[in-house]
């Protein structure tokens, strides 16, 4: 399982969520508090400025109500009142002007702006106040230095007549400076609160994440198959109850796994020790299980076979449907034979059903019946061959005997010939029956070899000498082997019969003037004997079949030469009984070589020396 990083952990998420909640709460409180504070400060600023303006207006009304002498003009008195309106350099009011009813500046509190006295102003709000006699709403704007200022225009009403307006310019930087300081204080408090919150959040998150982390580790151990570990219970709240439930789940899973594992081992043991192939499918016919013998029989891997349709895997989709298989048909033969090798399986099907009777799948059991089918076929061929081999001489004998019984025995020229043919056919049948009895004995489990120690080189040479002295064809013998002594334990009569069969065949099929070559080669602990002729040879596709019973390359010629088709089959059984092997190599038109091996007995050499 992938390791959880710090920035992905639930611990950090708890702390961040806690901090974000506090930050959100502080921001909401801050927005509301600052907004209300700003509103209150602005209201207080406006109220204070209004009261001072009202006081200034009251004093100006008093001056305009007086009777004035020539040496005491209203402008001088107004100038004095305006200068006294500003309390000092720290006053928020920057400048106060009095503008008469003709829109001319009559007086100003700013000593550096005395040039403005007597000038006519074009301020629209001043004109509105002079015309209407009502004070417009205070206006917020910026001066040339970029300071935020408030401009108030208040009309001066004396005896219901507008004598002019008081034009006040007041700086609001102190108000906003206070707001800035308050915001800084609030931001500092928020940071301190977040730091404290982070510490508390870490402690709080640990109380929650510690048991969760413990349960996570337990889940990872369970995924690895370790159910013995227990989750520590830190309390009996919801998380504690979850930990108890987790421990109980581990216990139940351990018991269930032990039970399942026991059943699985039993099933695996049964399936693995079965010699037959087993395939299980779901209700849709998809393969969900197959054992090793089934893999070998079908020559597929388990990964390839799983989820495949059983009809396609067995190659019977054209003959059967899935519903037909659910009806449990008789066993089905599956022919996977190739041109060179037979391979036949038998499949038996049974249905898997739930307790409710609903079909849940299918079980197919595969049996390899290749040998059985091969034996049945060989038995049928054997019976047919024996019948054919016996019928031919019997038919010939019956024909000649019928001719003799009809009077041919009285003919001195024909009768001896007929009797000779009948005698030859009788001897042929006797040879056939003897060969069959020989094979029957060798197939019997009670068959025993009469072995004895023989010096094979001399033994082999003596048999060749017999054939060389009795041969009638113009065929030469070539002995391509050394006279080295070679000792082995063999049944002398049986190996003699093997050599007689092989050499007789070589003589039969050797042409006039041909050569038969005899060789002996030592191969590790085996002696390889080979006999080569220069006959017509055997077609390549038939070389491996010449050791089968009743097999003949040229049946007519073999029968004419007196062969039964069992000589090499008998030789094969005898060589195998000695622990050796026999095979042939041939090339059409050039000849055939028969090879066979026998085990050497080196441990007995000292006894013979």
How is 339-371 classified by DSSP, letter by letter? SS---EEEEEEEEEE-TTS-EEEEEEEEEE-HH
- Indicate whether 542 belongs to any domain: yes
Per residue in 449-461, pLDDT (tens digit) is 788 899 999 999 9
Ranges of H-type helices in 107-237: 124-132, 173-223
Per residue in 80-137, pLDDT (tens digit) is 888 888 777 677 788 888 888 888 888 888 877 887 888 888 888 888 888 888 888 8
Per residue in 392-415, pLDDT (tens digit) is 677 777 777 777 777 777 777 777
Query: Does pLDDT of 520 surpass 60?
Result: yes
Confidence of residue 562 (pLDDT cuts 50, 70, 90): very low
Boundaries of domain holding 517: 452-608
Spatial CA neighbour of 508 closest among 456, 564, 547, 548: 564
Do 492 and 391 share a structural domain?
A: no
Nearest-Å Rg of the Cα atoms of the chain is: 63
Confidence of residue 532 (pLDDT cuts 50, 70, 90): very high
Q: Which residue has the higher pLDDT, 62 or 72?
A: 62
Q: Is beta strand 344-353 parallel, antiparallel or unpaired with respect to 526-532?
A: unpaired
Facing residues of 162 across strands?
157
Do 254 and 172 share a structural domain?
A: no
Query: Does pLDDT of 201 surpass 70?
Result: yes
Query: Does pLDDT of 609 surpass 70?
Result: no
- Indicate whether 6 belongs to any domain: no
The enclosing domain of 565 has a CATH number of 3.30.565.10
Across residues 488-513, what is the average pLDDT?
Answer: 87
Are the C-beta atoms of 98 and 85 separated by less than 8 Å?
A: no
Do 461 and 426 share a structural domain?
A: no
Mean pLDDT of the chain: 80
- Indicate whether 185 belongs to any domain: no
What is the biggest distance separating any 2 CA atoms in the chain, rounded to whole angstroms? 204
- Indicate whether 306 belongs to any domain: yes
Do 300 and 163 share a structural domain?
A: no
Dist CA 212 CA 234 (whole Å): 11
- Indicate whether 584 belongs to any domain: yes
Do 329 and 477 share a structural domain?
A: no
With vertex at residue 465, the alpha carbon angle to CA 463 and CA 466, rounded to the nearest 5 degrees, is 65
Are the C-beta atoms of 537 and 591 separated by less than 8 Å?
A: yes
- Indicate whether 333 belongs to any domain: yes
Report the pLDDT value the prediction gives residue 607, as an integer from 0 to 100: 46
Residues 6+ apart with CB under 8 A from 94: 110, 149, 169, 170, 171
| Tokens standing for residue 600 | 């050497």
The enclosing domain of 413 has a CATH number of 1.10.287.130
Phi and psi at 120, nearest 5°, equal -90, 135
The enclosing domain of 166 has a CATH number of 3.30.450.20
């Amino acid at each position: 399982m992938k390791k959880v990083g710090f920035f992905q952990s639930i611990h950090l998420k708890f702390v961040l969520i806690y901090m974000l909640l506090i930050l959100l709460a502080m921001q909401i409180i801050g927005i509301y508090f600052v907004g209300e504070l700003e509103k209150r400060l602005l209201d207080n600023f406006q109220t204070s400025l209004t009261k001072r303006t009202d006081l200034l207006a009251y004093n100006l009304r008093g001056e305009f109500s007086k009777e004035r002498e020539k040496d005491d003009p209203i402008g001088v008195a107004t100038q004095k009142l305006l200068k006294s309106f500003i309390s000092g350099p720290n006053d928020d009011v920057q400048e106060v002007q009095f503008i008469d009813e003709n829109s001319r500046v009559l007086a100003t509190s700013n000593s550096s702006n005395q040039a403005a006295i007597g000038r006519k102003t074009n301020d629209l709000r001043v004109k509105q106040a002079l015309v209407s006699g009502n004070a417009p709403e205070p206006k917020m704007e910026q001066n040339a230095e970029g300071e935020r200022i408030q401009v108030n225009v208040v009309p001066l009403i004396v005896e219901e007549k507008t004598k002019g307006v008081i034009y006040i310019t007041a700086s609001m930087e102190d108000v906003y400076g206070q707001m800035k300081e308050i915001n800084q204080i609030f931001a500092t408090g928020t940071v301190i609160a977040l730091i404290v919150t982070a510490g508390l959040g870490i402690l709080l998150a640990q109380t929650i994440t510690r048991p969760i982390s413990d349960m996570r580790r337990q889940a990872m151990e369970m995924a690895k198959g370790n159910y013995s570990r227990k989750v520590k219970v830190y309390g009996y709240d919801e998380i504690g109850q979850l930990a108890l439930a987790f421990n109980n789940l581990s216990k139940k899973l351990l018991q269930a796994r032990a039970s399942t594992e026991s059943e699985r081992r039993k099933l695996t043991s049964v399936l693995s020790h079965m010699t037959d192939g087993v395939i299980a499918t779901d209700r849709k016919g998809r393969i969900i299980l197959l054992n090793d013998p089934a893999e070998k029989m079908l020559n597929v891997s388990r990964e390839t076979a799983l989820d495949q349709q059983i009809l396609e895997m067995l190659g019977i989709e054209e003959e059967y449907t899935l519903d037909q298989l659910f009806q449990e048909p008789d066993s089905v033969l599956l022919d996977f034979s190739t041109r060179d090798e037979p391979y036949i399986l038998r499949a038996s099907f049974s249905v898997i059903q739930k307790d409710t009777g609903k079909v849940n799948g299918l079980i197919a059991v595969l049996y390899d019946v290749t040998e059985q089918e091969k034996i049945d076929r060989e038995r049928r061929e054997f019976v047919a061959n024996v019948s054919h081999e016996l019928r031919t001489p019997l038919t010939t004998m019956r024909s000649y005997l019928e001719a003799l019984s009809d009077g041919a025995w009285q003919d001195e020229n024909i009768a001896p010939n007929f009797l000779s043919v009948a005698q030859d056919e009788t001897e042929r049948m006797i040879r056939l029956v003897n060969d069959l009895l020989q094979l029957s004995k060798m197939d019997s489990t009670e068959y025993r070899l009469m072995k004895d120690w023989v010096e094979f080189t001399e033994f082999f040479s003596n048999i060749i000498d017999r054939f060389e002295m009795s041969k009638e064809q113009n065929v030469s013998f070539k002995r391509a082997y050394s006279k080295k002594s070679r000792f082995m334990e063999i049944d002398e009569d049986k190996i003699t019969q093997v050599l007689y069969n092989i050499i007789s065949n070589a003589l039969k099929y050797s042409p006039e003037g041909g050569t038969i070559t005899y060789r002996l080669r030592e191969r590790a602990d085996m002696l390889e004997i080979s006999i080569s002729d220069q006959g017509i040879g055997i077609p390549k596709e038939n070389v491996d079949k010449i050791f089968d019973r009743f097999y003949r390359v040229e049946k007519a010629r073999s029968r004419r030469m007196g062969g039964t088709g069992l000589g090499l089959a008998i030789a094969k059984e005898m060589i195998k009984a000695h622990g050796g092997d026999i095979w042939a190599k041939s090339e059409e038109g050039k000849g055939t070589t028969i090879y066979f091996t026998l085990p050497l007995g080196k441990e007995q050499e000292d006894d013979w020396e």
